[in-house]
Amino acid sequence: MNSLELTKHIVKILDDKKADKIEAIKVRDLTIISDYFVIASANNSTHVKALVDEVEFKLKEIGRAPERVEGYQNANWIVLDYNDVIVHVFYEETRNYYNLEKLWADGEKLDITEMLK
C-alpha cells in the first residue's frame, strides 16, 4: 500500500468513527518527515483516544503498526507516525491553538470527499 492509499484508508477509518474536520495534506515536497499528514479532531479526550485506537487497530489488521505514538496519556494531541503518513488527532481546542493547517499551508490539501466515496 503506497502512502496515498494509506492516507485514503486512514481518512475513511476516521470518518467511519465520526472524527471532525478531517484534512489530508501532501507535504512530500516540503519536508523529509513524511509524505502526508492526516489531521482530525474530536470534542473530548475519550473520542480522541477512540479515534487513535481505531486507526491503530484497523491498520494492524493489514500489517501496519505505527513507528511511534506520542501524546496518548494526555489525549489533547495524539500523533501516530507511520513514516510516510503521520496522523494527528486533536482535541478541538488544542487543534485551534496549534493550527497545523496554517503551518503547513504550502502543502497540497487533498479533497477528502473523493476519498470517502
CATH numbers and ranges of domains, the chain = 3-107 (3.30.460.10)
For the chain, the farthest-separated pair of C-alpha atoms sits apart, in whole angstroms, at: 34
Between CA 97 and CA 36 the distance in angstroms is 21
Q: Is the pLDDT of residue 18 over 80?
A: yes
- Whether residue 14 contacts residue 51, with contact meaning beta carbons closer than 8 Å, is answered with yes
Q: What pLDDT shows up at residue 23?
A: 96
Q: What pLDDT shows up at residue 1?
A: 84
Between CA 89 and CA 100 the distance in angstroms is 11
Indicate the burial class of 46 (C-beta count within 10 angstroms; 0-12, 13-18, 19 or more): exposed
- Whether residue 28 contacts residue 36, with contact meaning beta carbons closer than 8 Å, is answered with yes
Query: How does pLDDT run across 52-108, given as a tens digit for each residue?
Result: 999 999 999 999 999 999 999 988 999 999 999 999 999 999 999 999 989 898 999
Q: What pLDDT shows up at residue 114?
A: 82
